[in-house]
């Protein structure tokens, strides 16, 4: 059995970045890779590495689960579950903490960036976050892990830990590989195209949330920061704002940058942004409609119940093997 696994943190409403870099691809990979089983989960244990309001967290967990289906995942070949409902994740994370070196965790750029933003009360779980992520992946022997570009370093660490464990204790884990799309893996903030679009942002104006009113989405796209050149050309160095908008356009419509440049040759940014706003709104309207159906459906509850059982079955077996190999217990 071959497994593809990924997760999204319920730290807020997922963004257009989460959609183009991750959520949208899950369903696409499912269509292409029919002989794989998909393990997709809501990473709620990861969410509490930064402060969360309990009521909002619970709501966000259900929202993310519903959005997976709304964004195109199909129930066939799917194990959909909530991380904290499979207690082996926390246990395996402890094993990974025993395996990972301080120096390796200290090099993680996501941790360094988050600490810069949150100077007070940084939790130690934020520091050990990549050990939990490695645990998520290695518990199921996932072969492929579809994620956005910001997770590259964490994935590399998960690979290193799999190899380290296998060398020390004998072949136990599959060494995972990332599935990172060339386009859309790093969507930028609409107000500051040097930063990634982030759902835990201070400035909502630069971020498109999948569940926000469509009229607001139109406004945000029209107000996106560009440059004074007024020429639709893909140049991420000189024109990061336009390059980001062109990337969004290109991923959704599957048109190449060359085609988009030709379409807007001689036209200003106004036409381009208006068209892009309609393209994004059409896509998100479809997601919202499906989301409203799934979020309160019994179908979702049943899928999560079945997913918990299936994930627990595999995770339990793997954890037992790991304990045995390490000499833990009797």
Active site residues: 114, 196, 199
Q: If DSSP states are collapsed to H, E and C, what string results for 118-164?
A: CCCCCCHHHHHHHHHHHHHHHCCCCCEEECCHHHHHHHHHHHHHHHH
Q: Which two tokens stand for residue 95?
A: 């094993």
- Residue 196 touches which member of ligand LTN, ligand ATP, none, C-beta under 5-8 Å by kind: ligand ATP
CA triple 251-112-91, angle to 5 deg: 90
Q: Are strands 144-146 and 78-82 parallel, antiparallel or unpaired?
A: unpaired
Q: In angstroms, what CA-CA distances link 324 with 45, 99, 143, 313, 317?
A: 25, 16, 23, 17, 11
Applying the rule CB under 6 A, the residues between 148 and 167 that interact with ligand LTN are 151, 154
CB of 234 to ligand LTN, least distance (A): 26
Starting at the edge strand that comes first in sequence, how are the strands of the sheet with 78-82 ordered? 78-82, 36-42, 2-8, 144-146, 177-179
Q: Does 66 bind ligand ATP (CB under 6 A)?
A: no
Sign of CA dihedral 150, 4, 69, 180: positive
Applying the rule CB under 6 A, the residues between 160 and 219 that interact with ligand ATP are 185-187, 196-200
Cβ atoms within 10 Å, residue 270: 10
CB of 237 to ligand ATP, least distance (A): 19
Euclidean distance between CA atoms 10 and 208, whole angstroms: 16
- Residue 197 touches which member of ligand ATP, ligand LTN, none, C-beta under 5-8 Å by kind: ligand ATP
Segment interacting with ligand LTN, rule: CB under 6 A, options 50-58, 132-140, 237-245, 255-263: 132-140
Q: Does 49 bind ligand LTN (CB under 6 A)?
A: no
Q: Which residue has the tokens 């949330």?
A: 209
Whose Cβ is closer to ligand LTN: residue 44's or residue 232's? 44
Count of residues engaged in binding ligand LTN, rule: CB under 6 A: 13
Q: Which two tokens stand for residue 305?
A: 């119940």
Whose Cβ is closer to ligand LTN: residue 22's or residue 276's? 22
Please identify which residue in 42, 134, 137, 147 interacts with ligand ATP, judged by CB under 6 A.
147
Please identify which residue in 85, 88, 136, 198 interacts with ligand LTN, judged by CB under 6 A.
136
Q: Does 6 bind ligand LTN (CB under 6 A)?
A: yes
- Residue 247 touches which member of ligand LTN, ligand ATP, none, C-beta under 5-8 Å by kind: none
DSSP 20: I
Judged by the rule CB under 6 A, the positions of this chain that interact with ligand ATP are: 8-9, 11, 17-18, 20-22, 43, 147-148, 150-151, 185-187, 196-200
Judged by the rule CB under 6 A, the positions of this chain that interact with ligand LTN are: 5-7, 9, 43, 46, 133, 136-137, 145, 147, 151, 154
């Amino acid at each position: 059995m071959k497994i593809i696994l990924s997760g999204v943190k319920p730290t807020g409403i997922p963004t257009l970045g989460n959609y183009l870099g991750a959520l949208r691809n899950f369903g696409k990979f499912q269509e292409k890779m029919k002989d794989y089983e998909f393990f997709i989960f809501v990473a709620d244990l990861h969410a509490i590495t930064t402060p969360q309001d309990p009521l909002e967290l619970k709501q966000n967990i259900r929202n993310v689960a519903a959005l997976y289906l709304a964004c195109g995942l199909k129930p066939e070949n799917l194990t959909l579950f909530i991380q904290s409902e499979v207690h082996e994740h926390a246990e395996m994370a402890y094993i990974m903490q025993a395996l990972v070196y301080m120096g390796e965790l200290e090099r993680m750029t996501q941790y360094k960036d988050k600490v810069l933003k949150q100077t007070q009360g940084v939790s130690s779980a934020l520091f050990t976050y990549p050990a939990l992520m490695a645990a998520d992946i290695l518990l199921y022997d996932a072969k492929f892990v579809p994620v956005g570009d910001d997770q590259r370093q964490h994935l590399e660490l998960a690979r290193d830990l799999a190899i380290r464990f296998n060398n020390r204790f004998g072949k136990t884990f599959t060494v995972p590989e990332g599935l990172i799309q060339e386009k859309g893996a790093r969507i930028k903030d609409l107000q500051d195209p040097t930063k990634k679009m982030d759902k835990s942002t201070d400035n909502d104006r630069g971020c498109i949330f999948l569940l926000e009113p469509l009229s607001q989405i139109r406004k945000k796209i029209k107000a996106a920061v560009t440059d004074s050149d007024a020429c639709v050309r893909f140049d991420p160095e000189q024109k990061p704002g336009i390059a980001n908008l062109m990337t969004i356009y290109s991923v959704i419509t599957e048109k190449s940058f060359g085609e988009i440049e030709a379409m807007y040759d001689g036209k200003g940014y106004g036409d381009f942004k208006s068209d892009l706003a309609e393209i994004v709104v059409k896509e998100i309207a479809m997601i919202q409609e499906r989301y409203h159906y799934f979020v309160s459906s019994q179908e979702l509850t049943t899928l999560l119940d079945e997913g918990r059982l299936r994930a627990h079955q595999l995770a339990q077996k793997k954890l037992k093997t790991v304990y045995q190999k390490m000499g833990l217990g009797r």
